[in-house]
Amino acid sequence: MILFKQHEFAGFVTDLGGVTSHTAIVARSLAIPAIVGLHNARAMIRENELLIIDGRQGVLIVNPNQQVLDEFRRRRDLIEAERHKLKALRSARAATLDGHEITLQANIELPQDVEEAREAGASGIGLFRSEFLFLNRADLPEEDEQFEAYRQVVKSMEGMPVTIRTLDLGADKVMSGGGLKGPNPALGLRAIRYCLAEPQIFQTQLRALLRASHHGKIRLLIPMLAHAHEIDQTLAAIAQAMAELDERGISYNRSVQVGGMIEIPAAALSLGYFVRKLDFLSIGTNDLIQYALAIDRNDDAVAHLYDPLHPAVLQLIAQTIAAANKADIPVAVCGEMAGDLSATRLLLGLGLREFSMHPAQLLAIKREVRRTDLAEVTAMAKRVMRTQDPRKRKRLLDHLNRQTD
């Protein structure tokens, strides 16, 4: 992710990985043409050869003739024209045809990403992945460095809410020097498990976050929660950080909101405790799908089984939304599904009113929201969720996405 942001890529091709891997997801969110998991790309491609990378169809063309080149240039121009049209929606209301206001926020990785979020008309930062401040470096960021990064984001958003996820290291995000690699990193010491096991690192981050809360609307988001005791220990750690700041005479927001990521099925099945203890929820669909279906999303051998529309996945999402709505606490989706046009009406029909996605996806989602009548899509969304046959489910989703067009 950091390399993508620091260098300009026309596109890329890899031998390894799957369409659901983190690399592929990042490429899609940044609108970078990419094809992953070709296995023998290096054997097929020579230095300085001309390539056409059609990331939408998964097609790689080596040394195209002029006719093919002209056709794909025409397609590229159409895509660029469509992006230009979407910019007109930047200041438009994010509301459905029947008047329901929908919150559209942005996911960011680094403070400089705020500019793109503002340009897309985001109503806030729904997910600031703070672990990117820790990657590609030999040392840990000190409290003051972290504080300045968080404060910069809050100041740049000019009063809009900023949700900062605490350190989510492990799995596909490892600090220089390792230390987190286990036999199965996705199921190992990662995210809140790592933070609770490394209280000094966690306390440093919590103090920096709390200090930044004095400068704007910060919310703290805790990743990978599964157990009630993890919530209790996290809230105790926050209270400890507050006490340390009190001793130092440093101001912070004593009412800062604390939310939890719903990305482990156990969390989605323990919502009663979550909604009593936390101020808001955020559904991380990428990991929720992976864990619910027991699929390694970096393994292209099982990529075809990674199904966001699986009834079990949709039921976990729907019951999380329903539990949050019943408890009258905010709930958002911040995984890839939030920026997937084919899932927008489905999520709206399941009761979602808050989406957070990469800024490059936001205006297209806003257009889809503005084309949607909630009264028309709600019943069909529930039919999609209940349907077991994947082909029938796809037909129902296609019908749902044609409604009110």
Active site residues: 22, 334
Q: From 240, 166, 244, 233, select the one nearest 205 (Cα to Cα).
A: 166
Q: Which of 316, 333, 310 is nearest to 394 (CA)?
A: 310
What is the Cα–Cα distance from 345 to 370, expressed in whole angstroms? 11
Residue 141 Cα distances to 2, 147, 163, 208, 263, angstroms? 16, 10, 20, 11, 27
Nearest Cα to 233, choosing from 264, 277, 275, 168? 277
CB-CB contact of 169 with 205 (8 Å):
no
State the residue for tokens 């209940």.
386
Q: In DSSP terms, which residues pair with 105 in a beta bridge?
A: 356
Q: Which residues of 231-263 are buried (b: 16+ CB within 10 A; e: fewer)?
A: bebbeebbeebbeebeeeeeebbeebbbbbbbb
